A and B are shown apart, each in its own frame.
Chain A
């Protein structure tokens, strides 16, 4: 299997008055064809900035200071803004969290959808573009698409709006869709509809998806592989089953154990990770998770661990993962 996207040692820093915020600090991963890669983490973990960095949509004071983003054999980092414009919305597109703010309220859905097609296909005639737009709206399950093209975003419900955003994202058959919390603003029954739609359409069209979310349940059911981010770094990455059933990093272990289960019982104490994520302005010198970790040793407070292979495609960034006992709660020796 070949990777369509390879991110190598990506570093995106924000140079603020208070200091340098290392929002993304040495992130590397690959995305394969037709694959869904889930990126999970808490707010401030750097998952959204990773997504924006791939599109090079980072505004000052932010800057990609190091790393490579190799998309279909080409590095995007040295590319100019003009060249990036040709890629955005064409080969790589994005679905944002809030469909109400990602659509322009003063233009019709039809205008916005047709614009997305026209920009990247200047040779197409008006009729062809209109046809394409109708077909796209139909494919995302919007009834009477010809009529709805003339409607404005406020005339759609939240779920329908997100379908329109997905239609725009898929307008030019992208190779990669970056979906940043695409269903966080939606209700559960609508969420299931939208997520299924996204997965089905991308599989039909052969697109890969990077699904950014904080919801472990969503990635567990949607993703082929999961990357767990903490304080700007990937702390664990591997196949979905491995991450959920056999997590090796203390943070992943804690995260999965702290989520209430549908099959759970009342009165059972939930596992809680003590403390909270450190400020990115003021990271501890060693492993960023060390202050909250049940298995930390001296070295964790001094040095930053590297990603280590623990299984087939399964990597973990921890000095002590071998010492975590089988019950995943305590530490050996």
Chain B
């Protein structure tokens, strides 16, 4: 009796599995689509930054699918994989997703984390997949001849730091006035926080200001002693490279110590809403450098309203729209889709692009200001011009300021000091090429 019961249960279970598998295959059968894997972190300690980005990324893909029917009729199939910002889960996600989808499967990956980027650089090289790291990741990948599969579009930590310095010089009335001043770099005590140090040291030497390097240990929930020291230095300017909870705590602590918050300029990952909102009124006047326009006053938002929000197709709960992380998600998706569009122009419109075609497109990716206007993203998305040599594509960045309620754009897009950073990229990239045995490509 017991036995027959077990058998029945087993049969039912088997039937269920067969049925569900059938359902899954039936769902997968549709027209050819361009597969786009998306590594996101909607959970975990850094979720406040991750959710906005993931929503923006997804909403832009939905917009292109709904409004235009995809790229020249090729729909985009987006698949998310949750990394929780952890390197091992990121690597697992990459392996899981890379061969899904039609055609060659994944052709481009945006890992959304510097740690995951480092893990994926050798893997994507082997698999011939383009790695797009927007702002984060390995700055020297901007030197194209070495890492011809990694793209830093539209900027790097190093370039954006030169924009910060330019802004400081402008405020001081010229580079020559920096002499004798004190600039503090307060940073997340990790590889990320130390990124701009070399660039800043170069400036300090050239213009004769004092650079004070203040490391803040992660996670940075208590920073009183650090900021006491910083106040004693009587800094003229402070560059802040924090991450997660460190940013609002730094701003709040600095404010409570009587440091003028408008003299603090955050790096590109201290420029999101989660850096200022928890700090409340203390953050008023805080500035940060970023690589896209703030806010939602762009024509693309009207389209998003019409095709994505109103029909109820928006990802997430809609609370992220117009925030910094969301805008970053939008433009990241836009760069990826524009690259495919340019690949289609070259290799055949209305076809699914493979890995080789996608890589070709990225190596010549050109998005003019007119094109950003056509996309309804003028001012939101910086124009880029990628060449075989330059994988950053310009490195435009701007300074924004928090007015207590929203981010305001203070400057237009500014050109970075390429003459300063490009030799650094090249030196570091050639070192990498030598240690990894990567062939250095000839560019003409």
> A and B, one complex?
no
Q: Which residues on A are within 8 Å of B, measured CB to CB?
A: none
The chain B residues found within 8 Å of chain A, CB to CB, are none
